[in-house]
């Protein structure tokens, strides 16, 4: 699988230990590595986070960081034999992490064109995540709709990982 998801509940690594223990083409999301967002082209390795040593209001959510990185060529670096490749690591699959995973898994939909629906979803998630859900969108029907989308994405990610885990045992 060129882009795979690995969930390690409650695990947190330092940047140096992550690079030593995880294979090349590894990406840590949203607190899996206790460090600011960083990249190492030797590997390559990347960490996208907005929790560690960051001001949440001025740092983009993990999903927004991934969205921008994909647009700016993340998969020019995370590419093996001409095919996007990444081993994604998370420790808490919340809305932000699951949307970041979905963007990575569906990177061609993000890279090739700007879909207003994806852009709006990422924008709203970024505002809600960086304010712990307190961003005043005002439109409660729209917020209920987004909650439904995020619940569906989170459930699909968790169910896919559970099926993968069952196959290993």
Percentage of the chain beyond pLDDT 70 is: 78
Taking 90 as the threshold, does the pLDDT of residue 160 lie above it? no
Of these ranges, 37-41, 122-126, 153-157, the one predicted with the greatest mean pLDDT is 37-41
Per-domain residue ranges of the chain:
3-168
Q: How confident is the model at residue 74 (pLDDT cuts 50, 70, 90)?
A: very high
Q: What is the pLDDT of residue 130?
A: 82
Peptide bond into 10 cis (omega under 30): no
Handedness of CA 90, 38, 42, 98 (dihedral sign): positive
């Amino acid at each position: 699988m060129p882009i795979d998801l690995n969930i390690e509940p409650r695990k947190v690594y330092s940047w140096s230990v992550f690079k030593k223990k995880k294979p090349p083409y590894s990406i840590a999301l949203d607190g899996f590595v206790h460090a600011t967002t960083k990249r190492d082209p030797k590997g390559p390795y990347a960490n996208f986070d907005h929790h560690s040593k960051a001001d949440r209001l001025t740092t983009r959510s993990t999903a927004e960081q991934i969205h921008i990185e994909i647009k700016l060529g993340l998969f020019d670096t995370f590419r093996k034999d001409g095919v996007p490749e990444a081993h994604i690591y998370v420790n808490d699959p919340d809305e932000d992490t699951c949307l970041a995973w979905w963007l990575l898994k569906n990177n061609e939909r993000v890279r090739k064109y700007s879909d207003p629906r994806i852009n709006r979803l990422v924008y709203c998630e970024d505002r809600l995540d960086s304010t712990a859900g307190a961003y005043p969108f005002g439109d409660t029907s729209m917020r209920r709709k987004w909650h439904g989308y995020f619940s569906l994405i989170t459930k699909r990610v968790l169910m896919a990982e559970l099926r993968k885990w069952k196959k290993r045992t």
